[in-house]
Structure 1
Amino acid sequence: MMGGVDWSMHAIWWHVYPLGFTGAEREALPPDAPAVPRLAKLSDWLDYLVELGCNGLALGPVFASETHGYDTVDHYRIDSRLGTEEDLLALIEQAHERGVRVLLDGVFNHVGRSFPAFAEADRDGARSAYASWFRTREDGGYLTFEGHDHLVTLNHDEPAVAGYVVDVMTHWLDRGADGWRLDAAYAVPVSFWRQVTERVRDRHPDAWLVGEVIHGDYAGFVQESGLDSISQYELWKAVWSSLNDRNLHELGWTLGRHNAMLETFVPQTFVGNHDVTRLASRLDDERSLAHALVVLLTVGGVPSIYYGDEQAFRGIKEERAGGDDAIRPAFPDSPAGLAEDGWDYYRLHQELIGLRRRHPWLVSARVSVCALTNTAMAYTVAGGRQRLAVALNLDEQPVDLELPAAEWSCLAGDGEFRADRVALPPAGWAIAMER
């Protein structure tokens, strides 16, 4: 396994999309408009984050952009809809006072068209000092990200672009950030990331660097890029898909691949984020929310909880302008403003995050499937001499599943454990520790 960053092995992130969370405007403020210190609202939720059991705040984009934050125009300036640099530094300081790490979101595959270097290159063409920062198409236009004309792709073969990205990353790490999520990392050559990560680590060896990678050779990407981790989309998809389809064989197969990844790196695991339909809207049976959370918090990985998912927020992503709004909502000013019907799921998060905290070895634990049908599953997770048993039942009938012979003691859920069996009620789940 790669060396990675020691503190990240104990991290559980609360992932927030700041522009949505704070109720910011959909588009950038006029240049002469005063900054609105909305990041202060996040400071008021740090205790909620800690009480949930998390110790990391993973921020979505906070830098100056044209609209949604992923069309950055200035990586050195905080978006005035959120506040100023002083507001971000205050948030980082307040988080650190509570033992909470802060992860920033870096968009370095593409930029918004108002990005000054692009504006100059577009205006002056080959005469511009920034002409080589962007690639042109045969028709004279510029290469863009996945067909989005307003997102212009950077030329990652240009050494000055690598230098720029290194400077941005170290600039904010110097000011207290603990790491970076690298947006659309899959669209950038791994050789570029290798240049960047080596230079950033010269200055900040303890920074945690995680890339957004949706599919492909995850382990190979980590090894070649020098990143610490990537987003485990395979597990995300297998969790909700296997629960909806009543096909736990899919989850069993994916957990085998997950084990193989853990030989190389510790993935960033999740069941929801800013780019996908909310889990509570995705699942056909709301009782499966518990099963999904049990999987997330018992398998290896660095888990993240997307804000509102801990309250079973609903929201469907749509492929249209504004189609992300439902999954990136504003939060109330305080927890008292949250609906009553979400708190039971919040308390389940607390219970299972607490269990994970008491078994920190789970971060790199391997899974062994003991019993598997379409609608029921039992597996053990092991690290060193320690082992837990996990059982899931999606059926409307009770189930009795085989386990390795051991002295099992139930830690959570509603299972009845015997020496080599576990009985679950309909739609039940349970976690036990080997004594």
Structure 2
Amino acid sequence: MWAYHEVFYQIYPIGFCGAPLHNDGKTVSRIRRLDSWSAYLQDLGIGSILLNPIFESDSHGYDTRDFKKVDCRLGTNEDFKFVCESLHSHHVKIMLDGVFNHVGRGFWAFRDVQEKKQASSYKDWFHINFDGDSGYQDCFWYEGWEGHFELVRLNLQNPAVVDYLLECARFWIKEFDIDGLRLDVAYSLEHNFMRKLRSFCENVKPGFALIGEVLFGDYNLIVNEEMLHSCTNYECYKGIFSSFNSMNMFEIAYSLNRQYGPEDWCLYRGKHLMSFVDNHDVTRIASILFNKAHLPLAYGILFGMPGIPCIYYGSEWGAEGVKAPDNDYALRPAFDEPHPNELTDFIRTLIAIRRKSDALCSGGYRNVVITNQQLIFERRTENEKIFVAVNASESQYTACSKELRGNYTELLINKEGTLSGSLDMPPYSVQFLLNL
């Protein structure tokens, strides 16, 4: 699976392109702004872009009106085809947000039910009770996703709904040549639907990647040979920033070992979960860390740990954004152009190191040294061993372990040395030591 060896770059297009918050019905070719970022993404070393919803919707994109039409606020289908061709020409694959659990109240099939009520051919596409009423006075009750009645839940046990969604996936592959889907609220989706989607997409385009949004629970339930290739690793997302803010590296070390460690009981060995330090739904890492000196260290862990790293647009140069109690607007800004800096250069180096490393892409995980403020872990395959060492302290620290022996190359600065049972860790430092 190609996704296991790539780094993803996530963009929320409606915000990124500066589109109106609510659909104004005006067609403006804003999506072409992505074309001007293609060369930047290639230079950064990005292997795939992950685009949040781009199809016609009522407002934020997750309230879909039409799965086969690019949102008019972003442009036309032809505009997006142009963008896809540009990204592919710069060796950047494309993953779209598949919102299959629910639609907006403006979705064409739901509008038909609003008009025709029980006479509608689409009434069984949703979870509807004609003996009740909705808060919108539709003269029928329907199930909204997690109590959000602007998001109308689809009935994924209805074969007609499943066939329609599969046909939409085929359309996106054939029209735009996309390479994968991120499944919104995958924890809410019918398991049989995900099985059918996996088989269907693989037949249409071999190697097609499916990555699910999962906030909690056992990831093995949906990440397996029959369903999804990967899902979002929220446990380690929390563990990364929390470990730095509480100066307790035991937290992230525990989570990583629990998921990927060498013991038989570890949960996800051999799997490739999508790892991240922020995204379109959470406060940006530069805003949530108490100590800005920990920012490059957080990315050091992200690129050193098992999983598929995903960068949220703008965070690679330290853009800030705080999640509000009632909206996510501050998390989803428009940038006229990239603003690379030293942090961007550091991340570019991390991406290049990971791209060439079998151990970082596919190796096992083992904790070597853990203190409150320092962490050294090993990534290893039969052919390669790398120590990732992080010092969150403002002071130098010397770590001691019988494991720290042998010749090495420090990959971040291309410096060779020898370990004799200890490692000097400068203040606020990250080291990637390739054991020779």
Counterpart contact for 1:63–1:76, Cα < 8 Å: yes
Larger deviation: 370-379 or 193-202? 193-202
**Mapping for residues 36-435 of structure 1, pairs under 5 Å:** 36-136=28-128, 139-140=132-133, 141-175=141-175, 176-223=177-224, 226-259=227-260, 260-320=266-326, 323-332=327-336, 334-335=337-338, 338=339, 343-403=341-401, 404=403, 405-412=405-412, 418-435=419-436
Counterpart of 1:194 in 2: which secondary structure? helix
Counterpart of 1:206 in 2: which secondary structure? coil
- Which residue of the partner structure matches residue 10 of structure 1? 5
1:196, distance to aligned residue in structure 2 (A): 2.3
Larger deviation: 187-196 or 136-145? 136-145
Instruction: Determine the C-alpha separation between the residues in 2 that align with 1:225 and 1:212.
Output: 17
Instruction: Determine the C-alpha separation between the residues in 1 that align with 2:416 and 2:423.
Output: 6
Counterparts in 2 of 1:87 and 1:98: CA distance versus 1, 3 Å: same
C-alpha distance after superposition, 1:283-339 (max 9, x if no partner)? 11111111110111112212111100101000001121xx2111100011x33xx3x
Aligned residue type for 2:371: T
Instruction: Determine the C-alpha separation between the residues in 1 that align with 2:102 and 2:82.
Output: 28
Counterpart contact for 1:219–1:265, Cα < 8 Å: no
Instruction: Determine the C-alpha separation between the residues in 2 that align with 1:264 and 1:194.
Output: 20
C-alpha distance after superposition, 1:77-129 (max 9, x if no partner)? 00011111111111111111111101111111110001010111233222111
In structure 1, the gaps of 5 or more residues are none
Instruction: Determine the C-alpha separation between the residues in 1 that align with 2:106 and 2:161.
Output: 17
Instruction: Determine the C-alpha separation between the residues in 1 that align with 2:3 and 2:217.
Output: 24
Instruction: Determine the C-alpha separation between the residues in 1 that align with 2:274 and 2:170.
Output: 22
Instruction: Determine the C-alpha separation between the residues in 1 that align with 2:223 and 2:91.
Output: 28
TM-score under structure 1 length normalisation:
0.92
Counterpart contact for 2:368–2:377, Cα < 8 Å: yes
Counterpart contact for 1:377–1:401, Cα < 8 Å: no
Instruction: Determine the C-alpha separation between the residues in 1 that align with 2:351 and 2:149.
Output: 42
C-alpha distance after superposition, 1:189-225 (max 9, x if no partner)? 2122112222222222221111111111102221286
Counterpart contact for 1:231–1:269, Cα < 8 Å: yes
Counterpart contact for 1:17–1:59, Cα < 8 Å: yes
Counterpart of 2:434 in 1: which secondary structure? strand
For the aligned residues, what is the CA RMSD?
1.8
Aligned residue type for 1:27: H
Counterpart contact for 2:270–2:362, Cα < 8 Å: no
C-alpha distance after superposition, 1:246-303 (max 9, x if no partner)? 1111111111133145435311111111111000001111111111101111122121
Instruction: Determine the C-alpha separation between the residues in 1 that align with 2:18 and 2:254.
Output: 40
In structure 2, the gaps of 5 or more residues are 134-140, 261-265
Instruction: Determine the C-alpha separation between the residues in 2 that align with 1:196 and 1:13.
Output: 22
Instruction: Determine the C-alpha separation between the residues in 1 that align with 2:226 and 2:190.
Output: 8
C-alpha distance after superposition, 1:342-385 (max 9, x if no partner)? 60111111111111122144222221111111111111111222
- Which residue of the partner structure matches residue 263 of structure 2? none
C-alpha distance after superposition, 1:109-164 (max 9, x if no partner)? 11000101011123322211111111135744111112212111111111111111
Instruction: Determine the C-alpha separation between the residues in 1 that align with 2:228 and 2:333.
Output: 30
Instruction: Determine the C-alpha separation between the residues in 1 that align with 2:275 and 2:188.
Output: 20
Counterpart contact for 2:407–2:416, Cα < 8 Å: no
Counterpart contact for 2:411–2:432, Cα < 8 Å: yes
TM-score under structure 2 length normalisation:
0.92
Counterpart contact for 1:8–1:208, Cα < 8 Å: yes
Counterpart contact for 2:359–2:379, Cα < 8 Å: no
1:394, distance to aligned residue in structure 2 (A): 1.6
Aligned residue type for 2:293: R
Aligned residue type for 2:344: Y
Aligned residue type for 1:200: C
C-alpha distance after superposition, 1:48-100 (max 9, x if no partner)? 11111112111111100011111111000000111111111111111111111
Counterpart contact for 1:262–1:364, Cα < 8 Å: no
Counterpart contact for 2:409–2:417, Cα < 8 Å: no
Instruction: Determine the C-alpha separation between the residues in 2 that align with 1:127 and 1:142.
Output: 16
1:185, distance to aligned residue in structure 2 (A): 0.8
Instruction: Determine the C-alpha separation between the residues in 2 that align with 1:415 and 1:282.
Output: 35
Instruction: Determine the C-alpha separation between the residues in 2 that align with 1:45 and 1:392.
Output: 32
Aligned residue type for 1:408: Y
Counterpart contact for 2:6–2:46, Cα < 8 Å: yes
- Which residue of the partner structure matches residue 137 of structure 2? none
Instruction: Determine the C-alpha separation between the residues in 2 that align with 1:153 and 1:365.
Output: 40
- Give aligned-pair identity as a percent: 34
Aligned residue type for 2:352: G
Aligned residue type for 1:29: D
Instruction: Determine the C-alpha separation between the residues in 2 that align with 1:169 and 1:303.
Output: 25
Counterpart contact for 2:355–2:361, Cα < 8 Å: no
Counterpart of 2:222 in 1: which secondary structure? helix
